[in-house]
Structure 1
Amino acid sequence: MENMKNRFSDYPEVSFIEDTSFSDLQTRLIDDYEKRYKELTGKKISLALADPYRLILYSCAVAIYQGYQYEDRAGKMGLLKYSTGEFLDNLAAFKKVKRNKATPASTMIRFTLSAAVEKKVVIPKGTRVKGQELYFETTEKGEIIPGQLYADIPSKCQTTGETGNGYLPGEIRTLTDLLPYTLKVSNLTQTSGGTDRESDEELVERIYLAPVSYSTAGPERAYEYWVKTFSPSVGECRIISENPGEVDIYVTMADGTIPDDEFLQELGEYLEKSNVRPLTDHVVVKKPRPIEYSIDLVYYIRNEDSDKEETIKAAVHTACDNYIAWQKKVGRDINPSELIYLVMGAGVKMVEIQKPVFIEIPDSAVAVPGNIALIYGGRKDD
């Protein structure tokens, strides 16, 4: 997702209090007092640092400046560049945009009988199963027909947010709600799709894109707006046209993973709505092709930074994580220069990169990390 700070960098900073500082206000109060005193008495006065009246004016300045800050904040909350929280939600109303709520992770649970039975076995909607500390529940009624041993039922986490993501197949295996039959449970797919409440930065981006959605003429930004409105779990999307009259949309999830077929189907059905898709557009939602790259580098720090060795090592690993996140944009070329820039910014003296090498990535693909080797080469003199 493009950083909104960069998008707003061309817009000027504003101040509703004319950039008045606390010291400016203190000075003004004292000057006004001394000026008014001379007007009333004809005598010139200069308040000493320990003068009781000067101290009273200082105390007044604290309360007055707090009011200044409230005034400045109130004005800025009405501007997209500064607005946050509930103020941003109300600002979004002007564009008919609402903040996306947190969503639960989902998976497919297999319920297996210990032995076949001669009658239908019903597994009620809402049947709970547990994986470690989180509970999942079935989202529809399931049935194991006579002669069969199992039924696969879609399920969702009872706790919304990203916390429910990442359970590997087989890790959800405890049946919480007992049923008349002996059943074994296990998730068939890794849990995914759980998202936290839409952040301010994500909401700001959708508000910024909202005007392009007023027409279904099919511009790239309009499709980007509708894709990100569908679900906060969408990370990046690339809109291209590979055939005449066709709109091809390549999507990744917010955590950088490739979406599953069910998610793509639901997104495709959403984009087929008449208020989203122009009548003549054929919209196809696709998975980007993953192109794997490795990271293999050796870095050195300065002798003078020996006391910060562990801090710099941690910063290098953080820089690598930031590079991986940056590289996950659909259609973005694998660029080792960005990795060098980030690692050097961590405070190292020198970095030797064997991998990755520069690779052009087509619009229909996304770079994904493979083997990662960050080797500390020791300390060197300048």
Structure 2
Amino acid sequence: MSDINFVETDSKTIYENIINDFENAYGETLYPADERRIFIQQLISIIVGLKNDINDSARQNLLRYARSPVLDAIGVDIYHTERLEPQKATCPGLITLVAIQNDDIQIPSGKRVTPDGIIFFKIKDDVTIEAGQTRKECILEAVDPGASYNGFLSGQIKNIVDPIPYVESIINTDTSKGGADLEEDDSYRERCRIAPESYSTAGPEKAYEYFAKSADSSIVDVKVDSPSPGVVKIIPLLVNGEIPNQSILDKVYAECTPRNRRPLTDNVQVDVPTTINYDINLTYYLDIEHKTEELQFRKSIEGSNLDYVDGAIRDYINWQQGRMGISINPDELRYKIQNAASYKTSNGKSYTAVRRIVLNYPSFTQINKTDVAKVSNINITYGGME
């Protein structure tokens, strides 16, 4: 669908209309050197700015264009759907004592642990390590909500900030997950769009999708399937392609199974996506005409520190795992690499400084709608300039 304009915003059209109206009203021709025409010409930028403001204000009444806080008002008043609040990341942890103690050791909640001295996790609930024991499992919860707390691997959260008597170590035993920022406008808009599906009592696919996405703000994609009569399988995927843990699955199940939200005969099951692994193995070459921008283009492709944390390679990985059912597509990888090293000539035409890409992996692979493609090994070789 093309953009909707409530008023004319094209500067050339506005200028021509004003000149024509003036000439019709006064019966005179405004020639290019006429002072009145020059004065009108100077006002065009102001008029266009005002018309763009009017156009944008009118668009805010439509779900397609609305932004916060107008979008929140539309979501609540019309679609009865509220924006999802930020969520805190969690992960299982293990507390270990320096030695066996004769008495129970009480470890209060709130004691902090950090992976890097910048981001902090805390013990979520009080923990008691019984006499004669040296270890006890716990839940580590991020101090603040946000997606930046996700992705810390087992063993990375280990530096105790608040010392605890008799405690030798506190360490995470699995990857931190579940953290999410305040729901973005696009995600919120999509939930509002499918909200009317939730009014049905017949169990439509979009209704289950709506309730599942409403369970946690870290959920970015949901697939609903019925593998057999009476069975409804719901598959959620988290931000950045994270696989949901049991806590998220439980939230989705609780949100989708109340008797007033599902047909009585539906057997609702919540499961994780199937992970399809792939490798990236390629060599790329840059055009020798761009020696001065060589490092700049390399960083655009491989990341600011040539470590694939950002740049075109990371963009492709995030795109590939951002939704379920996206087939592994090497052409998209080629496009992102070429686009990252693009530049414009003096005449405004765009070109790429990538001379050649020898792409060994991945190869095109069709995947199912409940599969998510995740990268296993990354091997990027810069072949030099040619």
Q: Quote the residue 2:106 is aligned against.
A: 122
Q: Quote the residue 1:89 is aligned against.
A: 72
SS of 1:154's partner is strand
Q: Which segment drifts farther, 91-100 or 320-329? A: 320-329
Q: Quote the residue 1:376 is aligned against.
A: 382
> Is the Cα–Cα contact under 8 Å of residues 9 and 51 in structure 2 kept in the other structure?
no
Is residue 321 from structure 1 mapped to residue 311 from structure 2 by the alignment? no
Is residue 72 from structure 1 mapped to residue 55 from structure 2 by the alignment? yes
Distance 1:324 1:54, change over 3 A: same
2: CA distance, partners of 1:284 / 1:337: 35
Letter paired with 2:73: N
Q: Quote the residue 1:138 is aligned against.
A: 123
Number of residue pairs aligned between Structure 1 and Structure 2: 363
Distance 1:48 1:92, change over 3 A: same
CA deviation after TM superposition for structure 1 residue 76, in Å: 0.7
Q: Quote the residue 2:9 is aligned against.
A: 19
Is residue 230 from structure 1 mapped to residue 236 from structure 2 by the alignment? no
What TM-score comes out, normalization by structure 2 length? 0.81
Match of 1:365 among 344, 365, 371: 371
Q: Quote the residue 2:349 is aligned against.
A: none
What TM-score comes out, normalization by structure 1 length? 0.82
> Is the Cα–Cα contact under 8 Å of residues 90 and 140 in structure 2 kept in the other structure?
yes
Q: Quote the residue 2:360 is aligned against.
A: 354
Is residue 331 from structure 1 mapped to residue 331 from structure 2 by the alignment? no
Superposed CA deviations along residues 103-159 of structure 1, whole A, max 9, x for unmatched, are: 121122333332333333322333333442223233322222222223322231112
> Is the Cα–Cα contact under 8 Å of residues 140 and 172 in structure 2 kept in the other structure?
no
SS of 2:240's partner is coil
CA RMSD of aligned residues (A): 3.0
CA deviation after TM superposition for structure 1 residue 161, in Å: 0.7
Letter paired with 1:205: E
> Is the Cα–Cα contact under 8 Å of residues 295 and 372 in structure 1 kept in the other structure?
yes
Distance 1:179 1:322, change over 3 A: closer
> Is the Cα–Cα contact under 8 Å of residues 8 and 14 in structure 2 kept in the other structure?
no
CA deviation after TM superposition for structure 1 residue 190, in Å: 2.4
Letter paired with 2:96: T
Distance 1:69 1:177, change over 3 A: same
> Is the Cα–Cα contact under 8 Å of residues 273 and 372 in structure 2 kept in the other structure?
yes
CA deviation after TM superposition for structure 1 residue 45, in Å: 7.6
Is residue 215 from structure 1 mapped to residue 200 from structure 2 by the alignment? yes
Distance 1:124 1:290, change over 3 A: same
CA deviation after TM superposition for structure 1 residue 263, in Å: 2.4
2: CA distance, partners of 1:195 / 1:162: 4
1: CA distance, partners of 2:187 / 2:68: 12
Is residue 295 from structure 1 mapped to residue 271 from structure 2 by the alignment? no
SS of 1:79's partner is coil
SS of 1:143's partner is strand
Is residue 252 from structure 1 mapped to residue 237 from structure 2 by the alignment? yes
Letter paired with 1:114: V
Is residue 203 from structure 1 mapped to residue 150 from structure 2 by the alignment? no
Match of 1:266 among 232, 251, 258: 251
1: CA distance, partners of 2:8 / 2:29: 29
2: CA distance, partners of 1:303 / 1:282: 62
Q: Quote the residue 1:41 is aligned against.
A: none
Letter paired with 1:157: A
Q: Percent identity?
A: 31
Match of 2:95 among 111, 116, 127: 111
Letter paired with 1:296: N
Superposed CA deviations along residues 4-34 of structure 1, whole A, max 9, x for unmatched, are: xxxxxxx23211212342x554555566556
2: CA distance, partners of 1:324 / 1:262: 26
2: CA distance, partners of 1:240 / 1:251: 12
CA deviation after TM superposition for structure 1 residue 320, in Å: 2.9
Q: Which segment drifts farther, 196-205 or 314-323? A: 314-323
Letter paired with 1:107: C
Q: Which has the larger radius of gyration?
A: 1
Q: Which segment drifts farther, 171-180 or 75-84? A: 171-180
> Is the Cα–Cα contact under 8 Å of residues 95 and 167 in structure 2 kept in the other structure?
no
Is residue 277 from structure 1 mapped to residue 267 from structure 2 by the alignment? no
Match of 2:224 among 232, 239, 263: 239
Letter paired with 2:330: P
2: CA distance, partners of 1:283 / 1:275: 14
SS of 2:236's partner is strand
CA deviation after TM superposition for structure 1 residue 59, in Å: 6.4
Is residue 189 from structure 1 mapped to residue 174 from structure 2 by the alignment? yes
Letter paired with 1:324: I
CA deviation after TM superposition for structure 1 residue 298, in Å: 2.6
Distance 1:46 1:220, change over 3 A: closer
> Is the Cα–Cα contact under 8 Å of residues 240 and 363 in structure 1 kept in the other structure?
no
Output aligned runs, 1:24-39, within 5 Å.
24-25=13-14
Q: Which segment drifts farther, 279-288 or 118-127? A: 118-127
CA deviation after TM superposition for structure 1 residue 284, in Å: 1.5
1: CA distance, partners of 2:384 / 2:112: 53
